[in-house]
Amino acid sequence: MENQPVDHKKENRFELLKELLLTEDRKEFESLRNEFLKKEDFKNEVKPVLDDKIDDLKNNFPLYFGDQVTQSIKVQIRESQDEVVEALYPIMGKLIQKFIVAEITKLSDTINKTINDKFSLTHIVKRLFKGKKTDAEDVLQTVFASTIEEVFVIEENSGLLIGSYSRGNIADKDMISGMLTAIKSFAEDAFSKQGQDLEDIKFETFQLSMYNFKSIYIATATSGVITSEFKEELADNLNSLAEKILRDRSYLADEIRLNSLIEEILIKVPA
């Protein structure tokens, strides 16, 4: 077979044609390439700045937008109170129900235990010799035992605190004894006939009782069910305490000694 000679002229023409036809495409390609590279550069430039800004927003969002968000939530809640109540009601209801069930279970356990104890053989024997206390009183007292929470021994007129005992953590006992004396004076001045004293102030969960002696009065705060038996015992103990203090007046000038005496007589802590 004979080799065909290469037609260089023809080939050059084809190259020329290619050149002519693709010049526009090449230019477009070049421009797109440049644009892409520019975008990459821009991205590289901007990225760290944006990252910083995003971090700053993450960390300080409440500072920048807290007020606006709170305001808009407030408005939202105000405008859709009914929906909020509707949404929260079942949740709150369930929580309250759960709490009540837990408390009632605890209470019924305690009552069961107390009743079992009360009807034990030993207790039945004891009951034969018991005084005026009823079974209901007995159970109530065991379940909701009275506890002396606070004791204040206060100078009658000045309201100055002489001694005290506290189960909790009262901030300024002097101020409380002062205010207590003021309230006592006010109530006695406003409501009582001559010679009568304010004795009890009742709160929901505890009772404040004031026992008046010659130059001092003793205020006690008691929680739980206050039975007549407890009251009698407390009055007896308070009388003993006042007698000891007034017989030996050095207690009035020695707060630490007086505080131990209060614990020994009223709280029954061994001296």
Partner 1 sequence: MIAKKVLLVGNFGVGKTSLIRQFVLNEFSEDYISTIGVRVSTKIVNLNDEQIKLLIWDVAGTKDDEKVPKAYFLGASAAMYVFDLNREETYLNLKNQLETVKQLSGLKDVLVVGNKKDLLTPNEIEQVKQIIKIPVDLITSAKENQNVEDAFAILAKQSLK
| Binding-site ranges for partner 1 (CB under 8 A) | 155-161, 172, 174-175, 178-179, 182, 185-186, 188-190
User: Are the C-beta atoms of residues 148 and 266 closer than 8 Å to each other?
Assistant: yes
Give buried/exposed letters for 173-200 (b at 16+ CB in 10 A, else e). beebbbebbeebeebbeeeeeeeeebee
Task: Name the minimum Å distance from CB 216 to partner 1.
Answer: 12
Please say which residue, 83 or 197, places its beta carbon nearer to partner 1: 197
Task: Name the minimum Å distance from CB 260 to partner 1.
Answer: 19
Task: Name the minimum Å distance from CB 121 to partner 1.
Answer: 56
CA distance 101 to 96: 9
Task: Name the minimum Å distance from CB 179 to partner 1.
Answer: 5
Token pair in block for residue 110 = 């305690």
Task: Name the minimum Å distance from CB 193 to partner 1.
Answer: 15
Please say which residue, 230 or 251, places its beta carbon nearer to partner 1: 251
Task: Name the minimum Å distance from CB 161 to partner 1.
Answer: 7
User: Number of C-alpha atoms within 13 angstroms, CB side, residue 168?
Assistant: 12
Task: Name the minimum Å distance from CB 181 to partner 1.
Answer: 8
Give buried/exposed letters for 52-73 (b at 16+ CB in 10 A, else e). eeeeeeeeeeeeeeeeeeeeee
Please say which residue, 85 or 179, places its beta carbon nearer to partner 1: 179
CA distance 160 to 173: 10
Please say which residue, 37 or 179, places its beta carbon nearer to partner 1: 179
User: Are the C-beta atoms of residues 116 and 123 closer than 8 Å to each other?
Assistant: no
Please, what is the angle between helix 135-143 and helix 228-247, to 10°?
Answer: 60
Residues 6+ away with beta carbon under 8 Å from 229: 133, 137, 141
Please say which residue, 148 or 252, places its beta carbon nearer to partner 1: 252
Please say which residue, 159 or 224, places its beta carbon nearer to partner 1: 159
Task: Name the minimum Å distance from CB 175 to partner 1.
Answer: 5
Concatenated DSSP letters for 40-55? Answer: HHHHHHHHHHHHHHHH
Task: Give me the amino acid identity at 237.
Answer: N
Please say which residue, 1 or 190, places its beta carbon nearer to partner 1: 190
Please say which residue, 137 or 188, places its beta carbon nearer to partner 1: 188
